[in-house]
Each structure stands twice: as structure tokens, then as C-alpha cells.
Structure 1
Amino acid sequence: MYDINGDLGAGITILSDGHKGLLEAVKERCPEAEHRQCARHIIANFRKRFTGEHFRKLFWRAVKASTEESFKVVMEEIKSIDVHAYEYLKDRDPRTWSKAFFQEGRDCDAVENGVSKSFNSAVRSARRKPIITMLEEIRIFVMERIYNQRLRGMEWDLNICPAIRKKYKT
């Protein structure tokens, strides 16, 4: 536990699915850590109660809002459509899922843990093996992925990758 600043978690950010047991465990074991909830998990549950493309778009605007003021504007828009949707999101503690409230000085601005889910899915079979075998399979997976991504990138006739170029144009 010395890795996380004397057991208290000062300076680290933890991103989880927001499971009640996890929320309590982090509060107890790492009270100084910034604990964020995965926005994808929040919207998945939100969409079970509040349907419509407008809610999805507004939710992601609230998630990506960079200031408290812009967050409040979006939340008021949600409230004008459905007060219960507004209350549902407020009850999920926006300080844990909106960039508007993330602590300054963090090197991570992630709002969802899709990368770790994808990685875990890709190495699922390796995770059931003895530690050395597991690590070797993960090492090979990562090396092959880096190599294949590099080959794909070399095919581009661009200085800027297509995903960033698309964002730049919009």
C-alpha cells in the first residue's frame, strides 16, 4: 500500500463502475483518492428509466462540461425536460462523473473505463493461467497490438490521424 501514498491514496484517481461496495471500500481504504464513476455505467442505468436520444446527448454534454457553470446549464436543460431525470443524475453525485468537478492537477481526465474493459476482455483467457504464463501471453498480446496499430498508421497519408482530423474538422 505504500504505492498509494501511505494507504490514504493522496494524488491518485480511481475510476470504477460505481458499485456501492466499491464506493464504500475506496472511502474507507483510500479516503484521499479521487474516486470517479464510469459515465458509461451511469448512462446505462439512466437509459433504463429515461429513454430518448435527447437525454443521451445532454448527459454526455454534462459529463464533458469543463466548468461548473456549463454543467449547470446542461443540467437545467435536462430538468426542463424531466425533473425526475435531473434528480436521478444529481443523486449519482456529479462530482464523480463530470469533468467540471474533477480535481485540478490530475493527469487523467477519463470519464469512462472502456479501455480497461476492452483490455480485460482481450486477456480473459490468459487471466486463468499461472502468473508467468499469463504475463507472457499479455506481453505477446500487447506487442502484437502495438505492431498492428503501427502498420495501420503507416498506411495513412496524413500527419494527423483520422480520428483527430475528424474532430478538428467539426
Structure 2
Amino acid sequence: MYNNFKQKHRGLHLKDLLWRAASASRLVDFTKEMEKLKMTDKKAYEWVKEKNESHWARSHFSTWPKCDMLLNNFCEAFNKVILKARDKPIITMLETIRVILMKRLQTQRDKVSNISGDICNSIQRTLESKKKMHTTSF
């Protein structure tokens, strides 16, 4: 987005204002940075406002997960998986890790190919069970 922005709206100050708005994690901070941009350059502000904030501003990103797979500590999980490869020579180690990752990717690809809707099957089942619980409680 910034590459398109800088074609018409040049300057380090405008760049900083745009990046501060984009990286603001709270809506209040985003609004404050956008007001600063508006006060500095009305045309730049109007150009940015035409864009959907949910595509470029952290404060507008969805917090809902796209699937129910959650890794709390990715490094620990990865290290556990590559234990058998760690004591090998570098090329063999990298090849072993590559094979492990390729198998993992294929397994996940196979799971995703069975999805018929917009969300994962396990989440869909959870939603359905919650709907049944909700309707039977009345």
C-alpha cells in the first residue's frame, strides 16, 4: 500500500504518519494517527480513507482464528519434531527437516481439502453442538 501511497504523497513525515496508523494496535491510536494525517495533508488522508482499513491497519484486523490449530510455543514444538535430525551432519540434517516439513504440509493439505465451507470441520462441529445446546436450553 505504501508503494502506491508514495507515488502521489511524498515525504518522510507522511510516511511516518501512515506507518504509525497502520501499525497502531488500538482503534484509539489509529484514529489519533489518522487525525494527524488529516491535519498534515488532506489529500493523503482522503486517499488512505478510500482503502478498506481491515486490509492494512492492525487495529482493524480480525482477531478470530481461521482454524482451531493453535501453537502456543512454536519453537518448542519444532525442536521436538526435529530431535532425530539435530545430531546429523548439516546437509543430512537439513534434508531430514525438509522431509519432515513436507510430510507435515501434505498432511495439512489433505485435511484442508476435505473442508466444504469457509471454516474448519472441527470448528463447524463445535458451532453446531453449541447451536443445539442453545436451542434446547430455551
- TM category, shorter: 0.3 to 0.5
Which protein has the larger Cα radius of gyration, Structure 1 or Structure 2? 2
Question: What TM-score does the superposition give when structure 1 sets the normalisation length?
Answer: 0.38
Question: What TM-score does the superposition give when structure 2 sets the normalisation length?
Answer: 0.46
More strand by share: 1
